[in-house]
Chain A
Amino acid sequence: MTALLTVESLCFSVATGHVFQGSKTILDHVSFQVPRGAATAYLGPNGAGKTSTFRILCGLAAAASGSIHFDGQSVEAGLPPARFGFMPEQPYFYKNLSPNELLQGLGKLSGLDKQSLTPRIAEWAEKLEFSDILQQKLSTCSKGQVQRVGLAQALMHQPDFILLDEPLSGLDPLGRECVRKIIQAEVKRGATVLFSSHVLADAEAMCENVIVLNDGQIVFSGKTNSLLNTEENWIIRARWADDQQPALGTADIGSTDICTTEVGTADIQRDADDTWRITGNTEQQRNQIIHQILQSSHSQLISVEPERRTLEQAFVELLRGKNS
């Protein structure tokens, strides 16, 4: 999969406001790629530099050094307006206008013609479930409703590249589900999505790729699976006939929940569905256990898979490892 966006060695600093302290580095040689036609999560703790990266990509701030390439073309002052949609974090917009008036204006600014705008706005309002407030003043709308309007303005001109800063913050579980579906639908359409989020479960569910930023530096960039799968740990699921105890090595299931094989010990425990979960960390041991299960006429192998962490666990481990 080729990259739609390539960021190389991006550096950015801000003035601290103190005359003698100079400036603070926000981004320190940040490099990453955003694969075309996929969703990528841009994660990091507060103050890591996520919003600053987005501001540079949008042309709202200038990087001190580094380069940005969009679809093979070098970008100097922000991504091409016609090809990308941007939703800032917690937008509020014009409080005296209705969502319809706002979207009409923004749609025209994006080059959409008057005739197609009204049905398009109605379509997005329905998709994002804010049809009932379309003619209501924005000052009377809730934070979540404004958030949905914000998402609609970023998507309604069907851009190739969608940049969303915390699109899920301020939304209730139903709203998050709705936005998740919309993002997945946009990826299906062929759009490339880059978004920042603190809701890691949603990022895990939606994204094939993850970029993790900490203290202005990239600490991970790659496939979500490769971050979630631990390198050596594995899980074997198996079932034994007639509710028998697993016959693995010199297992003493009742007292220690550990089975000992010729090559070491593995954890074993019974799950609620009467299956047994065996976890270990050496390849040789894994193969031996699989062999034993397959040889026995009383046992049935259900699955063998690498042990997966949640994105939240991986994220915390990654940052703790980096900080220590």
Chain B
Amino acid sequence: MKKAMYQIFEIAHLTFSDAIRNRISYGVFVFLIIIITTSIALASVTMGRTELMILDLGLGAISILGNLMAIVITIQTLQQEKENRTLYVLITRLDGRWKYLLGKFCGLAAVLGLQIIAMCALLALSILPFGDIYWLSFIQASIATVIEIWLVIAIAMLFAQSSSLFLAILFTVSVDITGRFTSVIQQFGEQASSTALRGLTETMFYILPNLEAVNLRNGAGYIESFPAAQFANVIMYGASEIAFLLFIGMIIFERRNLS
């Protein structure tokens, strides 16, 4: 067990060291600064609470950018390792391919988690001069965004290790988008008269990861804090969905012939 943990840590360490220096990360930071600057400029010419407007725009931008980064970096990293045969020298050192996938997830989760935290800190710094918000709910929403991004990494990993670059991007983006409307799909099914359609929408609701279930951005900064049960639900749902996706990914990856 100790050896397995050590090997997972080493894979995560290699992944982190490489991904943190990926140029996409720096580009995204520049983009975020532009967005925050624009929102400050916009807020200064509008009536109302400027700090809340910056907060809403900023959290939305972080989520969108975080999702894009998670999809691009995860798929790019896994596909490149396949093409460059780095995957081979890693896997031949392990006595179980699952360690590679888990290590990869931990490394990418650390990189992107750190970047989301840094972006949220940057957003907080840009809000401070304009006024006060409820910081606890902001922190809770930031943590939920990190979990959302980790969930997207797990989705991207599932597709990146089992399909081509194009298909991996297509499937991940599709699941990412539909994952925000799973409740709508379920409601649509409930209203349908066809039993088959109801069954289909019900199945889709349970199979697709519900990315809205880990979204606490609505209300962040406006209310003092989210109820503990709601916040715990976000964490529990996120953790169990990530574990499920990784488990499925590991089963596929263990049996796959690598070319």
Task: Enumerate chain A interface residues (CB-CB to B < 8 A).
Answer: 14, 55, 58-62, 78-81, 84, 86-97, 101-102, 105-106, 108-111, 150, 153-154
Question: Which of chain A's residues have a CB closer than 8 A to the CB of B88?
Answer: 58, 60, 86, 88, 91
Q: Which residue of A lies closest to B86 (CB)?
A: A93
Q: Are B85 and A62 in contact (CB under 8 A)?
A: no
Task: Enumerate chain B interface residues (CB-CB to A < 8 A).
Answer: 3, 6-7, 10-11, 13-14, 17-19, 21-22, 83-86, 88-95, 257-259
Q: For the complex formed, measure the closest distance between the CB of B167 and the CB atoms of chain A, giving whole angstroms.
A: 14
Q: For the complex formed, measure the closest distance between the CB of A68 and the CB atoms of chain B, giving whole angstroms.
A: 14
Q: Are A93 and B92 in contact (CB under 8 A)?
A: no
Q: Are A94 and B92 in contact (CB under 8 A)?
A: no
Cα of A105 to Cα of B15 in the assembled complex, Å: 10
Most chain B beta-carbon neighbours within 10 Å: one of A14, A60, A88, A153: A60
Q: Are A88 and B85 in contact (CB under 8 A)?
A: yes
Cα of A87 to Cα of B85 in the assembled complex, Å: 9
Q: Which residue of B lies closest to A80 (CB)?
A: B95
- Supposing A86-B88, A86-B89 touch, asked if A105 and B13 sit within 8 A by C-beta, the answer is yes
- Supposing A14-B259, A105-B14, A109-B11 touch, asked if A91 and B93 sit within 8 A by C-beta, the answer is no
Grouping DSSP codes into helix (H, G, I), strand (E, B) and loop, the A interface class, with mixed when no group exceeds half, is loop
Question: Which of chain B's residues have a CB closer than 8 A to the CB of A101?
Answer: 14, 17
Q: Are A62 and B94 in contact (CB under 8 A)?
A: no
Supplied contacts A61-B259, A81-B92, 19 more A-B pairs, CB within 8 Å = A14-B257, A58-B92, A59-B92, A78-B92, A79-B92, A84-B92, A88-B89, A90-B85, A91-B84, A91-B86, A93-B84, A94-B17, A94-B86, A96-B22, A105-B14, A105-B17, A106-B89, A108-B6, A153-B89
Contact of A92 among B11, B17, B86, B92 (CB under 8 A): B86
Q: Which residue of B lies closest to A154 (CB)?
A: B89
Contact of A109 among B18, B93, B259 (CB under 8 A): B93
